[in-house]
Amino acid sequence: MNDSAPFDVVLEVAPPRFSPDEVVAAARGTFGVEATHADDLGSERDQTFLLRGDDGSPLAVMKLSNPAEDPATLDMEALAVLHVQSVDPALPVATPWPVPGAGSTDDPATYRAPFEVGGLTHWVRMYDVLPGRQRAEAATLSDAALAAWGETTARLGRALRGFFHAKAQRTMLWDVQHAPRARPLLGDIGDTTMRKAVERVLDRFDDVVAPAWPSLRAQVVHGDLTIENALIDDDGAIVGIVDFGDMSHSALMIDVASILDSLALDRHGDERFRAARLLLDGYQRVTPLEPLELELAGELWAARAAVTIAISSWRSARGLEDAAFAERYNRSVLDTIDAILTLGWDETARRLGAGAPQTLGGAGLVARRDRVLGPALEPLSYEHPIEMVSARGVWMTDARGKTYLDAYNNVPCVGHAHPRVNEAIARQTRRLNTNMRYLHGAAIELAERLVETCPDGLDTVLLVNSGSEANDLAWRLATTFTGNRGALCTDYAYHGITDAIAPLSPETWAVRRPDHVETWTPPDSYRGLHLDAASFAAAIGRLAERGIAPAVSMLDGVLTSDGFLEPEPVFIQELVGRTHAAGGLWIADEVQGGHGRTGEAMWSFQRFGIVPDVVTLGKPMGNGHPVAAVITRREIAQRFADETVFFSTFGGNPVSVAAALAVLDVLDDERVIERTRVAGEALRTAVSAVATRHPCIGDVRGVGLAIGIEIVGDRETKRPDRAIAGAIKEGLRERGVLVGSTGAEANTLKVRPPLAFTTAEVPVFADALETTLSALEA
């Protein structure tokens, strides 16, 4: 067709107008069908009849093409139907008949026969009769029918995905892609309000949809699975897809736009959007939409409605359509447009499931947080709290669009939004999520792979949901196994929130000092203090004085909350020996130090050359998805099993397990441990260089990407300076770098980025630190 013409010529030409008798003759002459009745089924481009025999029984559906129709286009239709049947044989598409004696059925021309009248050729095609009825009222469809309709539409799109034909590259005005070409038709919309509404939709299309169009998934699509083009059963489910005449190569979303336009019609208020959501749910059962597709769903829906009004006004002005019918129908379609315009584009997108618009919550959000979440929740970080909206790798973006280098969050260990983990979660959540009462190989594989990473003897895994739960379970295992009830941890440890574990989290103690817990002071090599095991021995002694023996000694292998201290292996070995001698178990809490953070090994306990009795995992295990684990010896698990039974509803669910397995895979594939070692060394070196110019940096320490930068008021006395540390943290935040503070005096900068942090980010960090310190000193 001529590219400057508004649309496909076939729409400009009236459909053929053969009488039933002529049709019966044509059926006999072309396909040898002996019909006695031909019922006109109505069509926009061609003429379609139900052929019936003497007794009224249906024989075939016959199509007589518009003389303007290119036969190659009809061939595309035949090939598409055959393709769909081969990909998804259960889709109820009408099978075309080969012309009797016409030869190879691979040749699409086999499926059409010429019918010449007055020098014009009409192509005759014959199809199987499908069951079902046509022309239902969309508003009467049940919820189940809407969802099924969405699902069938998606299946049809999927079945056409691998299909192509040169004729698919055509300009169909119904194809929302070409909505702007409807502008010349708007003069035929008599009602000004209606015309203005259509114009607003087309303006929006120009502004928002057209620029994004090339990014939308495209393929050959049916494009028109509307209520007119499907046969339905008594439940409203599609049992026949009858018209492939609007096919073109376009965005997949035009299928969605056409069903929204057709099927959510004549519903009012939120009912219209509820119907739309049910259609989308059904569609996404088969084909999940991409974020951009969902974001534009409202615009595409409205554009399809606008095009519908434009075309039918134009056609009825030319006598090609019944004007009264067109007017009535267009009023309903206008209601859709009005509903969308009234709601606004953002709210429409939200109602269609495109997620909340990323608006600034600001001070109002802080007040709402305080009001509803209360004072027990930890306060927000930073003087000016950040509303984060997205993140990728080591970069986070806030609602204002400012990006931050994340040098703080250890949970997304292989990087924020890692595609492997995202997809593993999404795929599994679509397939199945259930619990450990059913067999599933993935949880078993995860447990096996975790055991493989551990020293011999640590052979049994229990799956839970958080670090706190893992430590809680470790506590129960230990108290059951040892029969003791005491616990040892460092002075400023944090191990979790449960009733059993909060007592082992002195970082969070306000006043209450639990009777059964004693703390010890870890070695501070910067100040040369507590380098021997005396503090630990004294803690055991204090417990003993109260007649308490330790069940556990719990240690975070990178001593995060104590300020990233670095005890020597022999020191820790001695502590393990003393714990065992006192009757307790050694619990390696790997919630912080695990999953490669040390840049040396998978688990931080490995650097001490010890074999713990229990290992607990959390935070990084699912890269942000809640999943945690306990790994122990069989005899310890057995003693527990003798007394109780362990089951956690979510623990080991297939979705969490999929996340955890993906994390293990990425750790291997990206050689994360080695990358962490190199990045960690480079970062410490760079920060040490900054320290030569800024005396407030007293010490730079840590292992891998668990780094502490201790801030002091005076390098001679090494006096901790919490205020300067806080100011540096705020200054870095202003300069787009996120760190925390840690240690009993909160004077150590906590630098603990996702392990996606590489040497590339080192200068960004070092420069921000340098300028922050210079600014503070000025």
User: Hey, what's the torsion of the CAs at 411, 415, 418, 424, to 10 degrees?
Assistant: -30
Taking the complex as a whole, the smallest distance from the CB of residue 552 to ligand PMP amounts, in Å, to: 13
Continuous segment of H or E residues that includes residue 2? none
Taking the complex as a whole, the smallest distance from the CB of residue 264 to ligand PMP amounts, in Å, to: 43
Considering the rule CB under 6 A, would residue 754 count as an interface residue with ligand PMP? no
Considering the rule CB under 6 A, would residue 308 count as an interface residue with ligand PMP? no
Taking the complex as a whole, the smallest distance from the CB of residue 560 to ligand PMP amounts, in Å, to: 6
Q: Which is nearer to ligand PMP, 494 or 603 (CB)?
A: 494
Of the candidates 240, 298, 467, 624, which one interacts with ligand PMP according to CB under 6 A? 467
The Cα–Cα gap between 364 and 361 comes to: 6
Residues in binding contact with ligand PMP, number by CB under 6 A = 15
Q: Residue for token digits 């002996």?
A: 34
Stretch of 199-207, 220-228, 461-469, 739-747 contacting ligand PMP, by CB under 6 A: 461-469
Residue nearest to ligand PMP (CB): 467
Taking the complex as a whole, the smallest distance from the CB of residue 715 to ligand PMP amounts, in Å, to: 30
DSSP H helix total and E strand total for the chain: 22, 25
Residues 6+ apart with CB under 8 A from 28: 34, 35
| DSSP sequence for 203-230 | HHIIIIIHHHGGGS-EEEE-----GGGE
Stretch of 131-139, 185-193, 495-503, 670-678 contacting ligand PMP, by CB under 6 A: 495-503
Sign of CA dihedral 755, 760, 761, 766: positive
Site string for ligand PMP, 543-572 (x = CB under 6 A): -------------x---x------------
Stretch of 211-219, 491-499, 579-587, 764-772 contacting ligand PMP, by CB under 6 A: 491-499
| 582 close to 550: Cβ distance less than 8 angstroms | yes
Of the candidates 468, 521, 535, 579, which one interacts with ligand PMP according to CB under 6 A? 468
| 538 close to 580: Cβ distance less than 8 angstroms | no
Per CB under 6 A, contacts with ligand PMP among 614-633 are: 618-619
The Cα–Cα gap between 757 and 770 comes to: 19
| 33 close to 51: Cβ distance less than 8 angstroms | yes
Of the candidates 454, 488, 591, 738, which one interacts with ligand PMP according to CB under 6 A? 591
Considering the rule CB under 6 A, would residue 742 count as an interface residue with ligand PMP? no
Structure tokens at 405: 């280098």
Stretch of 121-129, 250-258, 431-439, 467-475 contacting ligand PMP, by CB under 6 A: 467-475
Structure tokens at 655: 């979705």
| 654 close to 433: Cβ distance less than 8 angstroms | yes
Considering the rule CB under 6 A, would residue 589 count as an interface residue with ligand PMP? yes
Stretch of 534-542, 585-593, 635-643, 723-731 contacting ligand PMP, by CB under 6 A: 585-593
Taking the complex as a whole, the smallest distance from the CB of residue 676 to ligand PMP amounts, in Å, to: 18
Q: Which is nearer to ligand PMP, 15 or 467 (CB)?
A: 467
Sheet holding 388-392, edge to edge: 388-392, 395-398, 403-406, 737-738
Q: At what angle do helices 297-317 and 253-263 cross, to 10 degrees?
A: 70
Considering the rule CB under 6 A, would residue 471 count as an interface residue with ligand PMP? yes
Exposed/middle/buried for residue 20 (C-beta within 10 Å: 0-12, 13-18, 19+): middle
Task: Give the single-character DSSP code of 177.
Answer: G
Taking the complex as a whole, the smallest distance from the CB of residue 363 to ligand PMP amounts, in Å, to: 28
Taking the complex as a whole, the smallest distance from the CB of residue 469 to ligand PMP amounts, in Å, to: 7
The Cα–Cα gap between 579 and 540 comes to: 8
The Cα–Cα gap between 295 and 747 comes to: 45
Site string for ligand PMP, 172-211 (x = CB under 6 A): ----------------------------------------
**Beta strand 585-589 with 697-703: parallel, antiparallel or unpaired?**
unpaired
Taking the complex as a whole, the smallest distance from the CB of residue 700 to ligand PMP amounts, in Å, to: 21
Q: Which residues bind ligand PMP (CB under 6 A)?
A: 466-468, 471, 494-497, 556, 560, 589, 591-592, 618-619
